[in-house]
Amino acid sequence: MIKLKDQNEILLYRQTGKIAGEILTTLKEHVKVGVDTYTIAKIAEELIVNKYQAIPSSIGQYDFKFALNSSLNNVICHGVPSKNDILKDGDILNLDITVKKHNFIADTSRMYAVGTVSPEAIRLCKITHECMWKGIEQVRPGNTIGDIGYAIHTHATRNDYTVVREYCGHGIGQKMHEDPQIPHYGTKGKGLVLQKGMTFTIEPMINQGSRQIAHLDDEWTVVTKDGKLSAQWEHTILVTDKGYEILTLRDEEREEFSKWF
């Protein structure tokens, strides 16, 4: 069942989304050579709990112990923070956080470049970011979930990348995972019709090589089967009466992509 949010709920949800976005921006100064992902996760937890008096809602979900997922290089998603994952020059890193406040959960992620990153890695991050935006631009009442997936998949494949199909965006609100699911591939005009008041994530996972995935021995971390790089960006989106609102939009996104790296 899809829960449509009313205006009072949206006012609260905006506040939660703003917090999530601000945390990802704050973490930029901590993503640097020599820092481990465990430390970054603990900084995120401290910000969520003490600065914003909010809840790191990923902690305890599926027995997960951290305030964020940290997916490094060929990790597609669900990367587990570790003291052994020490950032090196040339790494690319996705940090994915969920924040709960005012009884709503905001979910967002972004890519970070560590030191001097190769042109190939930067291109992957850039095209993946564009894929997310191509999907977001399809959000309006009357359009379908298939329109979102088609736009993402088309842009990725035109740029010689592949789209992970096993994981997708999802409805979100008072629960982390609600209906509907938002695949990052699809057919124009097919699937559920979007309605005002829906909230969901768009979070394409784009691979440099094959779209095939593998799981590490922890049965949680998802990696590219061929060992090549993967990138992901994510926002929590609201369907408005005429289009969309990005509840987790960051101020930095008003700048050019090149300035973020």
pLDDT digits (tens, 9 = 90+) for 2-15: 999 999 999 999 99
Rounded to whole angstroms, the Cα distance separating 208 from 215 reads: 18
Q: Quote the pLDDT of residue 261.
A: 45
Confidence of residue 255 (pLDDT cuts 50, 70, 90): low
Task: Please check the confidence at residue 137 and state whether its pLDDT lies above 60.
Answer: yes
Peptide bond into 180 cis (omega under 30): yes
Task: Please check the confidence at residue 193 and state whether its pLDDT lies above 60.
Answer: yes
Rg (CA), the chain: 17
Domain residues of the chain, as ranges?
7-260
Distances from the Cα of 60 to the Cαs of 44, 50, 108, 113, in angstroms? 16, 18, 18, 29
Residue 193, strand partner residues: 144
Top-tier CATH class for 7-260: alpha beta
Average confidence (pLDDT) over 165-190? 97
Rounded to whole angstroms, the Cα distance separating 253 from 211 reads: 28
Non-local (6+) Cβ contacts of 141 within 8 A are 194, 195, 196, 239, 241, 242
Rounded to whole angstroms, the Cα distance separating 186 from 198 reads: 19
Find where tokens 């970070």 sit.
Answer: 112
Rounded to whole angstroms, the Cα distance separating 238 from 189 reads: 20
Q: Which of 226, 223, 225, 134 has its CA nearest to residue 185?
A: 134
Q: Quote the pLDDT of residue 62.
A: 85
Confidence of residue 1 (pLDDT cuts 50, 70, 90): confident
**Phi-psi category of residue 119: left, alpha or beta, with phi > 0 → left and psi -120 to 50 → alpha:** alpha
Q: For 131, phi and psi rounded to 5 degrees?
A: -60, -45
Non-local (6+) Cβ contacts of 23 within 8 A are 44, 47, 48, 52, 97, 99
Q: Quote the pLDDT of residue 253.
A: 82
Residues 109-132, buried b or exposed e (16+ Cβ, 10 A)?
Answer: bbbbbbeebeeebbebbbbbbbbb
Task: Please check the confidence at residue 257 and state whether its pLDDT lies above 80.
Answer: no
Find where tokens 């564009």 sit.
Answer: 130
Average confidence (pLDDT) over 164-169? 98
pTM for this prediction: 0.95
Task: Provide the mean pLDDT of the chain.
Answer: 96
Confidence of residue 61 (pLDDT cuts 50, 70, 90): confident
Distances from the Cα of 174 to the Cαs of 8, 60, 136, 199, in angstroms? 14, 16, 22, 10
Contact call for residues 191 and 169 (beta carbons, < 8 A): no
